[in-house]
Amino acid sequence: MTAATIDPYATTPAGGRFLFTLNPLAKFAAPLPPMLVLVFVRDLATPLASLALAYIVLLAGARLTVRVVLLLAVALPVAALVIGLGMSLWVDASRVDTSVTVVELGGWRLYGGAVLIGMATGIRLAAIVALALVAGLTTNGADLVRASVQQLRVPYRVGYTALAAFRFVPRFGHELDVIRQAHRVRGSHGGRGPFAALARWWGYIVPLLAGAIRHAERVALAMDARAFGAYPDRTERHLVPWRPRDTTFVVAFWIVSAVLLVTFFPWTL
């Protein structure tokens, strides 16, 4: 029985849907123009069409985990509904269509025109978030940094320093979990209530800071040992190239977005 080997110089991960095989910059560039346009539109059809486009791309190209399904099917629609209803309450009644009354409480009335404007705002925000999720749900931070260094010519001193900082977050989470287990084994700061919780968190601060300092020293020594910053350029171990399929995805996304905009947007603010 032989173990499977993984090529450390492989440019793309094996498996996954098509969004995971695209260059991270392509996934950021494709939805950016529609997101900017949605900031200025005021109708209801355009954000609905953009939201449908984002959902189609995500359902076809992203991994549908339980968290992603709950985000797309529950969290985003509920947020759009709550924001839309909340915005409808703030709309100036003198500037909307008052032919339809939705709710009447004493002398206060909620008109259909106000609800329409509020829901358009909520759906517009939901569409912007959904378009942002095209890159957010399918992009690895390390690949984004590598693509920025390789294609956008971001100085590697900036890019890989930011990458090292990003990797501190999961390290902190691991160390915090270890510290919690050690305190639990020793029976430190037991009990219930807000004061016990405050004492427990206060006991985590010093060892967590000590671990962070030790980790930062190790990272700094490792970067110095590899002559980080000594030369203007460095060779890349992991390549994140820009392929023809990246260009095809960006151009196709822009064309579809332009068709939706021309079809649904009434060109009036």
Is pLDDT at 217 greater than 50 in this prediction?
Answer: yes
Is pLDDT at 100 greater than 70 in this prediction?
Answer: yes
Residues above pLDDT 70, as percent of the chain: 88
Query: 194-225 and 168-186 helices cross at what angle (nearest 10)?
Result: 130
For the ranges 34-48, 96-110, 152-166, 205-219, which has the lowest average pLDDT? 96-110
Between CA 239 and CA 243 the distance in angstroms is 12
Between CA 7 and CA 89 the distance in angstroms is 57
How does pLDDT run across 8-49, given as a tens digit for each residue?
444 444 445 889 999 999 999 999 999 999 998 888 889 999
- The region that residue 254 occupies, defined by phi over 0 for left and psi between -120 and 50 for alpha, beta otherwise, is alpha
One-character DSSP codes across 111-171: EHHHHHHHHHHHHHHHHHHHHHHHHHTT--HHHHHHHHHHTS---HHHHHHHHHHHTHHHH
- pLDDT score of 11: 45
Between CA 28 and CA 71 the distance in angstroms is 20
Is pLDDT at 219 greater than 70 in this prediction?
Answer: yes
In this prediction, residues 169-173 reach a mean pLDDT of 81
Contact 120, 80 (CB under 8 A): no
Between CA 210 and CA 226 the distance in angstroms is 25
Is pLDDT at 3 greater than 70 in this prediction?
Answer: no
In this prediction, residues 90-112 reach a mean pLDDT of 78
The larger pLDDT score, comparing residue 105 to residue 134, is at 134
In this prediction, residues 106-128 reach a mean pLDDT of 87
Domain parsing of the chain, residue ranges: 18-147+241-264, 154-225
pTM of this structure: 0.78
CB-based contacts of 253, cutoff 8 Å, min separation 6: 30, 31, 34, 57
Chain mean pLDDT for the chain = 83
Burial of residue 14 (CB within 10 Å: 0-12, 13-18, 19+) is exposed
Burial profile 127-139: b = 16 or more Cβ within 10 angstroms, e = fewer? bbbbbebbbebbb
- pLDDT score of 111: 81
Whose tokens are 């037991």? That residue is 190
How does pLDDT run across 128-142, given as a tens digit for each residue?
999 999 999 999 888
Contact 83, 122 (CB under 8 A): yes
Is pLDDT at 269 greater than 70 in this prediction?
Answer: no
Highest mean pLDDT among 146-150, 202-206, 211-215, 236-240: 146-150
Is pLDDT at 145 greater than 50 in this prediction?
Answer: yes
Is pLDDT at 172 greater than 70 in this prediction?
Answer: yes
The whole-angstrom distance between residue 60's C-alpha and the CA centroid of its chain comes to 18
